[in-house]
Chain A
């Protein structure tokens, strides 16, 4: 899987949009971008994923650049409960599955988002 680069930490004012960037300049055409977050003492929580089109769900929006070398996770109205470590991960989809060892998630250090009252 391609590696990702994220800032180690970010602050966001409560009620404002939180924009979390991720660089994945070596992403392959069959690799998806996944976002997870981990709140203290809990397991990682799936947020959203996409291949090349922008995606939106009830939690967040995912904006992927046209060249797919970077993406941004947007939390439209951050709350104190959004304080967490956010992980950007790239991984092959079904068609790219080449056998054992290519299907797990490879987590980096993520971005620690602090939402400030």
Chain B
């Protein structure tokens, strides 16, 4: 089925490098979310888009984190000057709209910073 697709599935980068993580939401889904999941913890909210508008970025841990969704579909999460504490699984979720419709998640990108 056409679920949420994330790429790459795994990413290894050296400390200080920039990385870009991609999310393809379910077709037609208006809302898109990024979450960060540390080992052994539940996912934590990073940022939220309604179409192309980034309505909430309160969860982004620092100004090194940047997300965009220019055409209201595909989204990219960029991390500049990566640090070891950025190592985590980054999850993307989409939902039809901002009502009580459930969010559907991709399988995430596992980022390891050496």
Query: Which residues does A use to contact B, with CB under 8 Å?
Result: 32, 34, 41-46, 49, 51, 87, 91, 93-94, 97, 100-101, 103-110
Which of B45, B56, B58, B106 is A105 in contact with, Cβ under 8 Å?
B45
Residue of A whose beta carbon sits closest to that of B107 = A43
Query: Which residues does B use to contact A, with CB under 8 Å?
Result: 4, 31, 33, 35, 41-45, 48, 55-56, 58-59, 91, 93, 98-100, 102-108
Which of A34, A45, A87, A104 is B45 in contact with, Cβ under 8 Å?
A104
CB distance from A56 to the nearest CB of B (A): 15
Please name the 3 residue pairs, one residue from A and one from B, whose CB atoms are nearest each other, closest first.
A107-B42, A43-B105, A94-B99
Q: List 5 A-B contacts (CB under 8 A).
A: A49-B102, A94-B99, A100-B55, A101-B56, A105-B45
Query: For the complex, would chain A's binding face be called helix, strand, loop or mixed by DSSP majority?
Result: loop
Contact B48 A100 (CB under 8 A): yes
